[in-house]
Amino acid sequence: MQNLLKINENFAKLPANYLFVEIADRVKKFSEQHPETEIIRLGIGDVTRPLPEAVVDAMAKAAREMGEAATFRGYGPEAGYPFLREAISKNDFRDRGVEIGPDEIFVSDGAKSDTGSIGDIFGTDNVVAVCDPVYPVYVDTNVMAGRAGEYVEGKGFSKIVYMPCRRENGFLPEIPERHADMIYLCFPNNPTGLGIDRASLRGWVDYALENHAVILYDAAYEAFITEPDMPRSIFEIPGAKKCAVEFRSFSKTAGFTGVRCAYTIIPKELVFGGVSLNRLWNRRQSTKMNGVSYPVQRAAEAVYSEEGARGVRENLAYYRANAKIMREGLAKAGFEVYGGVNSPYVWLKVPEGLTSWEFFDLLLEKTGVVGTPGSGFGACGEGYFRLTSFNTKENTQKAVERIGKTFAT
Ligand code: MLT
């Protein structure tokens, strides 16, 4: 008999398309059918502000260095150049009262890649817990790895522990009844746009320590926090270095969605069964990637310069102002609105009687505005809708006006 090549059958359990690809496909089709409609994209969280000049200068200077024999560089250190790891350690942690050493920081091309790949260093028998709604990467990559079990319509994957985040619990996950080994948390949250308070985060750290679980903490939106007491890093919580990994990104903070640079923190103290996760991740990364390009790492370093930091602050203020325009404008139009204070995302309740996808279609048809249906993030997202503050001020205002005119109650 012929030997048949076997594929990874777990892929067959996934939805046909990644959420944002599905949205892009629908919008493309709509545009082709309605070329006269001006589309305003408030769907995927992609930035629009140009990079700060100091960042561009650093990238250009580094590119020129690559063109001179004396300063040319080949492969860099897999986990990132010391200049960037030290700048991160100092600016994002030590100066904020948290000790994270450069050798606990792994530079990469994105928090999406890192949150999606981190599962490589964990056993496939582990029980995974995720918030519902959730950034789909955490679930989809665990499906690919075989940790998710079978998909049950209306319930989700049989082996995944879903932690509902609803209006009734302030959109904060509760400690699950079933034991979980790998707990994915994202704060400020994607998609709900809400942050977590210190006491609640401490509750998660205590749970993980008592239950020998690991928290996979996605802090990609940390730069949007405006409330002074809100934790910006899980490592502000005592004991977290023994139970948590944290993911950070320059994408939304510094406008790097098209540049690609992020980092993951794996403390040296994070040891399970006598094995250091820092060592495992280093082994994984040095085997599967050759790091991030030198000009990009110089650009990321420049984010911490005085000029670079000023430019970043201005861009963040611009997006925050957009979030305020959406929050206030939509509330005035009668929508129930959440988020947008410590996050670039605004989470709204769709009008009574419509599903999230029905609202998506109606909104596109009537206003040309693209958002993300809450149900795309999980069953508990049904009835909700996410808008981003990353478009221009003009487009944000226009979108809110059009939505107001069409749906005002
Ligand atoms: C989102 O819109 O949720 C994000 O842009 C997705 C991502 O960062 O990969």
Q: What are the extents of the domains in the chain?
A: 9-50+308-407, 55-305
110 in contact with ligand 1, CB cutoff 6 A: no
Type of residue found at 52 = P
Q: What is the rounded CA–CA span in Å between residue 90 and residue 298?
A: 16
**Interval between CA 17 and ligand 1 midpoint (Å):** 15
279: CA distance to ligand 1 center in Å?
A: 28
- pLDDT > 80? residue 321: yes
In the reported structure, the alpha carbon of residue 112 is separated from the centroid of ligand 1 by a whole-number distance in angstroms of 8
Residue 162 has pLDDT above 70, yes or no: yes
pLDDT of 231 > 80? The answer is yes
Mean pLDDT in residue range 250-273: 97
Residue 140 has pLDDT above 90, yes or no: yes
**In which region does residue 3 sit, left (phi positive, over 0), alpha (psi from -120 to 50) or beta (all else)?**
beta
Query: What CA–CA distance (Å, rounded) separates 128 from 155?
Result: 15
pLDDT, residue 2, reads 73
Q: How confident is the model at residue 17 (pLDDT cuts 50, 70, 90)?
A: confident
Q: Are 266 and 272 in contact (CB under 8 A)?
A: no
Hey, do 9-50+308-407 and 55-305 end up sharing a CATH topology, with the first three levels equal?
no
Orientation of helix 53-65 relative to helix 294-302, angle to 10°: 150
Is the minimum distance from the CB of 24 to ligand 1 under 6 angstroms? Answer: no
* pTM assigned to the model: 0.96
Helix (H) or strand (E) holding 211: helix 198-211
Alpha helices in 77-130 (DSSP H): 82-88, 111-117
Pocket of ligand 1, candidates 20, 117, 250, 370: which has the most ligand atoms within 8 Å of its Cβ, to mutate? 20
Check whether 15 has a pLDDT greater than 90.
no
Q: Mean of the per-residue pLDDT values for the chain?
A: 96
Query: What's the rounded Cα separation, in Å, for the pair 81 and 298?
Result: 9
Grouping H, G, I as helix, E, B as strand and the rest as coil, residue 173 is coil
pLDDT (0 to 100) of residue 70:
98
Quick one: pLDDT at residue 200?
Answer: 97
What is the reported pLDDT for 3? 81
Point out the ligand 1 atom lying closest to the alpha carbon of residue 251. Answer: 8
Classified by CATH at the fold level, domain 55-305 comes out as Aspartate Aminotransferase; domain 2 (3.40.640)
Instruction: Give the Å distance between the CA of 50 and the centre of ligand 1.
Output: 18
Q: Ligand 1 atom closest to Cα of 372?
A: 2
Q: Distance (Å, rounded) from C-alpha 320 to C-alpha 342?
A: 9
- Confidence band for 1, pLDDT divided at 50, 70 and 90: low
Domain 9-50+308-407: assigned CATH number: 3.90.1150.10
| Tokens standing for residue 310 | 């000023």
Strands (E), 112-155: 128-132, 151-152
Distance between Cα 210 and ligand 1 center (Å): 32
Of 330, 365, 366, 357, nearest in space to 345 by CA: 330
Question: Tell me, what's the pLDDT at 16?
Answer: 80
Q: Which of 190, 248, 385 to mutate to test the pocket of ligand 1 (most atoms within 8 A of CB)?
A: 190
Percent of the chain whose pLDDT exceeds 90: 95
**Residue-by-residue DSSP string for 219-261:** -TTGGG--STTS-SSGGGSTTGGGTEEEEEESHHHHT-TTT--
**Would you state the pLDDT for residue 48?**
96
Q: Is the CB of 190 under 6 A from ligand 1?
A: yes
Q: Choose among 289, 279, 280, 278: nearest CA to 113.
A: 289
Q: Whose CA is nearest to atom 4 of ligand 1?
A: 45
**Ligand 1 contact via 291 beta carbon (within 6 Å):** no
Average pLDDT, integer, range 331-343: 97
Tokens of 66: 């690559």
Determine the average pLDDT of the residues in 214-226: 98
- Confidence at 111, pLDDT banded by 50, 70, 90: very high
pLDDT tens digit string along 24-53?
999 999 999 999 999 999 999 999 999 999
In the predicted structure, residue 84 carries a pLDDT above the cut 80: yes
Find the 269 Cα to ligand 1 centroid distance in Å: 30
Residue 44 Cβ inside 6 Å of ligand 1? The answer reads yes
- Other C-beta atoms within 10 Å of 19: how many? 20
Q: What is the mean pLDDT of residues 182-192?
A: 98
In terms of Cβ atoms closer than 10 Å to its own Cβ (0-12, 13-18, 19+), residue 205 is buried
- Residues of the chain with pLDDT > 70, as a percent, come to 100
Q: ω before 173 within 30° of 0 (cis)?
A: no
In whole angstroms, give the CA distance from residue 213 to residue 191. 24
Averaged pLDDT, 357-385: 96
- Tell me the average pLDDT across 284-310: 97
Ligand 1 centroid to Cα of residue 45, in Å, is 5
Residue 189 CB less than 6 A away from ligand 1: no
